[in-house]
Structure 1
């Protein structure tokens, strides 16, 4: 079972989310403040974090920063704040999705499912795949080219992992927005093009005979590898 860390200081909300996630097949762990959440993050290595902004000790923005120093683990921010500045601050800080309170627990589970939608079987805790000189560690969420780790933004990394897990599958911009950006994404689908452009730059030394991210004009994008 995948572990989901719930960093939420409101006991009632935390308990409800925990119950719904358990029912959906996840293993929830709960933290009531930022400091406790950081320790649990290090101990449990969760597959995803549900992160409230307004927490005692260490707020969600500071905790998100510390998480991003350690990992590219997906983060969905939960907050009563609905101002666009806070939404942008979370997304620009590396959050993968954003939900404003009050929310329906079923929708939170749906968002978790969308972010973690992966075809790889996480059975041995050490899932790696080689595409020629490109090595992707799906457990550690790291990418190495010729033995050197490539630095990617959390969103670009999520896009690469999603497509690489499905080599040769063709995706439209709309599908990638839904699967990687999240169902409530309100920006332009040009974000996909820009992310693909950054990935190609990061993988510029990956030999084309080993693989590449292809554009199929009028259709979408494809991760291709021999």
Structure 2
């Protein structure tokens, strides 16, 4: 049995897998940091808008309702998979003393025939954003697209490395039955060679006495 002699390659692959794991953790940290930065910046913008509306409307309750922004951003790692998406948060109307239930809806990627697997279709996404947060949403989604592409590229490299490892571990079987090489010592007579059919028996010449006319 022949086996690839790739001990050094196996060590390099193990090192590469460790590097890929660190890169994956780095992407996950960047996604968490992006989510945190988004909500911190959104809170600042929201408070500014709320103060403006309170002064304009003179009614804090109305100002709260008008300033409410249902668009939210989320990044999470689950089952070794990174998800970065936008979602909406609404509340059903209050009935009596009971508060309405919270409704959460995840926004789909793309729009109609323009779906993009790397990110959201901005015109549709911005339809759910307030004017005061539109620029922030654009910036965050641009970063999110880059993170998704980085993660996809990393997964592709990991898959290719797994294929290379399987090739490295491949064994080559030698056929058990091999025809002997023809040499002077193995076959001096062609009739003795296993791949040469034996010659037909030599036909004896008929004598005059055994001629067809019997004379």
* TM-score, length of structure 1 as denominator length: 0.26
Higher gyration radius (CA): 2
* TM-score, length of structure 2 as denominator length: 0.27
Higher strand share: 1
